[in-house]
Each structure stands twice: as structure tokens, then as C-alpha cells.
Amino acid sequence: MLTPGQKAPDFTLFNTERNEISLSSFHGKNVVVLFFPMAFTSTCTVELCEMRDNIATYMGLNADIVAISVDSPFTLAKFKEEQALPFDLLSDFNKEASQAYDTYYETFVMNLKGVSKRSAFVIDGDGIIQYAEVLESAGDVPDFAAVRETLASLN
């Protein structure tokens, strides 16, 4: 399990516009990396809309947001459009980032194989993990107050 103080694993994933986005491209800026199980599910929608509704707070804390799931870029594009999400949704279709961050269900509900666990990481401008929360229950959401407090401590 990844813990604060460790170097965050780099990743390069496709966003909904089919552009490659790497963690390393955020160098010098804080980033909140969220992993979520599946687009269009109730808790995932609540979680990402919480981030959408508080985007000004995160921008004020000098933080970008990326949300990652194993859904295809095409599914994520429709989800992003329907929910008016103002940040990148990244497709970890090959499940490499989810495994690198140890936020991965081998078997999820309905016997689905290889789904991201819900988790939140705050990574500073030097690529160091400052906050890490991996949830075992997909029905729980990250501690957003702790995420914001961590970001505030970095500024």
C-alpha cells in the first residue's frame, strides 16, 4: 500500500478527448488523484459531483484533479458530459495504474474482474504522496475534508 512520503507511481493514460495525460505533466502543481470503480454508478456520481461542485476550492488550493477508472475513454466521455465534470477522467482500461497504486479489486460485484477501488491521493508538485486513502467498500466516499486540509498544508 502506498503511504505519504513515497514517490507516486507515474502513469500515462488517455483522457476523454483521447489525449495522453501523465502524472509527471503536473510537476510543480498539487494534484488530487481519485480512483473510482465505475462510471454511471450512484456513489461514483456523488463523489465526482462533490469535486465538481467544489472545483473553485480545489483551484484555490493550487490543485488539479484527475479521476481514473477502468472504463473506456468513450464511456468516461459520456459520463463527463452528462455530469458536466470540469476535470480529466482518465481510462485505466489496462488496469496498470490501479495496480501500481494498489487500489484494485481482483473481483468486484457481479464477478467483474479488475475494477479500481475507490481511493484518493494528494500528490505534491514534486510527485510525493501527501495523502493516501484506499477504501475497501465501494459504497464509501473519500474524506474530502482531509484531502482539502492536506492541500491547505502544502500552500
**Which pLDDT does position 112 carry in this prediction?**
79
Residue 76 pLDDT > 90, yes or no?
Answer: yes
Residue 13 has pLDDT above 80, yes or no: yes
Which pLDDT belongs to residue 70?
A: 97
Asked if pLDDT for residue 111 goes beyond 90, the answer is no
Q: What's this model's pTM, rounded to 2 decimal places?
A: 0.95
Asked about 49 being catalytic, the answer comes back as no
Give, in words, the CATH class of 29-154.
alpha beta
pLDDT-derived band at 91 (thresholds 50, 70, 90) equals very high
Given the residues 23, 44, 85, 122, the one annotated as active site: 44
User: What are 99's three cell numbers?
Assistant: 495496480
pLDDT bracket for residue 94 (50, 70, 90): very high
More confident residue, 7 or 106: 7
Average confidence score pLDDT of the chain:
96
